[in-house]
Amino acid sequence: MLPEVEQYFRIEKLPHMWCPGCGNGIVLHSLVNAISGLGLNQDKTVIVSGIGCASRAAGYLDFDTLHTTHGRALAFATGIKFSRPELNVFVLMGDGDCTAIGGNHLIHAARRNINLTAIVFNNHIYGMTGGQYSPMTPSKKRATTAVFGSVERAFNLPELVKGAGATYVARATTYHTALLTNLIMEAHKNKGFSLVEVITACPTAYGRYNKLGSPAEMLKAQRENAVNIKDLRGSNGEVPEGKVVIGELYRAEAPEYIEEYLAAVKALQEKGGK
């Protein structure tokens, strides 16, 4: 481990439990690089996670961390931010955790534009619980609960949270680690609800059921299938078939929930209300 990031890990908790070739560690590395790059105070930074392979990340990190209940990471994070708005709060979730059982919390955190940085590890499947399809499994792809291929359509997560009210939305893959680090930094700087989707490999479940090859081949596919949004500008903006758009996808200004709430309380107090 590089000495500049070692301080962010609970070394005694390693080795981690992830499978060889899993992309989760790559996301984690980009996250600590971003925290280091932002110069955040380790004692004023909180990592919240839900349930699933990705959410085990919180246990390996040496911050104040909460490994919470399935789908509820954003609800816990909202409580933390409400009671201590000065803290930096990062929320780590898997695709199933965030968009299925946690979908309701997701849209309302985005709608409120609460100042949190959500990072969604999208491996297109429920890895820990046995490879079931999630709302982020692409149509026709296989899972233990879709042995002939899923007949559902996957969420377009960036469009979903943008529509719900998020003010920063980005996407990267575990192949594009420098980009991912920069996007997490920009997401954190945004005062409002920010979400970074990370396409990451689960060779054990998604990769195996869909015959996507070795972990290295899955990473290579991430490189080949990605198109940076900057390269789409100037064209008609259409995404070529089978490609995944990465980069900073959306940025907007909107009132931040806690600031609005506290301002409303202050105004009432000044009027002599209770």
Q: In terms of CB distance, is 150 or 204 closer to ligand SF4?
A: 204
Q: How far is the CB of 220 from ligand SF4 (least distance, A)?
A: 17
Q: Of the candidates 58, 28, 63, which has an alpha carbon nearest to the alpha carbon of residue 42?
A: 63
d(CA 243, CA 246): 10
The residue range among 15-23, 172-180, 218-226, 235-243 that interacts with ligand SF4, by the rule CB under 6 A, is 15-23
Tokens of 35: 């925290």
Q: How far is the CB of 127 from Mg ion (least distance, A)?
A: 5
* Strand 168-173, strand 244-251: pairing: antiparallel
Which residue number places its CB atom closest to Mg ion? 94
Gyration radius of the chain over CA positions: 19
When CB distances are held under 5 to 8 angstroms depending on the partner's kind, the choice from ligand SF4, Mg ion, none that residue 118 binds is none
Cis peptide before 15 (omega within 30 of 0): yes
Q: Of the candidates 126, 237, 225, 210, which has an alpha carbon nearest to the alpha carbon of residue 172?
A: 225
Contact 214, 202 (CB under 8 A): no
Point out which residues pair with 251 in neighbouring strands.
168
When CB distances are held under 5 to 8 angstroms depending on the partner's kind, the choice from ligand SF4, Mg ion, none that residue 205 binds is ligand SF4
Size of the site for Mg ion (CB under 5 A): 4
Question: Site residues for Mg ion, window 38-97 (CB under 5 A)?
Answer: 94-96
Contact 237, 249 (CB under 8 A): no
Tokens of 95: 């695709």
Instruction: Please name the helix (run of DSSP H) or strand (run of DSSP E) that holds residue 157, with its range, or none.
Output: helix 157-164
| 207: contact with Mg ion by CB under 5 A | no
When CB distances are held under 5 to 8 angstroms depending on the partner's kind, the choice from ligand SF4, Mg ion, none that residue 24 binds is ligand SF4
Question: Site residues for ligand SF4, window 110-139 (CB under 6 A)?
Answer: 123, 127-128
Q: In terms of CB distance, is 49 or 123 closer to Mg ion?
A: 123
| 18: contact with ligand SF4 by CB under 6 A | yes
Sign of the C-alpha dihedral computed for residues 37, 40, 43 and 44 taken in this order:
negative
Among 5, 9, 19, 251, binds ligand SF4 (CB under 6 A): 19
* Strand 226-228, strand 244-251: pairing: parallel
| 197: contact with Mg ion by CB under 5 A | no
Q: How far is the CB of 162 from ligand SF4 (least distance, A)?
A: 26
Q: In terms of CB distance, is 23 or 165 closer to Mg ion?
A: 23
The SS3 of residue 19 is coil
d(CA 90, CA 228): 25
When CB distances are held under 5 to 8 angstroms depending on the partner's kind, the choice from ligand SF4, Mg ion, none that residue 19 binds is ligand SF4
Among 115, 123, 137, 181, binds Mg ion (CB under 5 A): 123
Contact residues: Mg ion, CB under 5 A = 94-96, 123
Interface residues with ligand SF4 (CB under 6 A) are 18-19, 22, 24, 53, 123, 127-128, 202-205
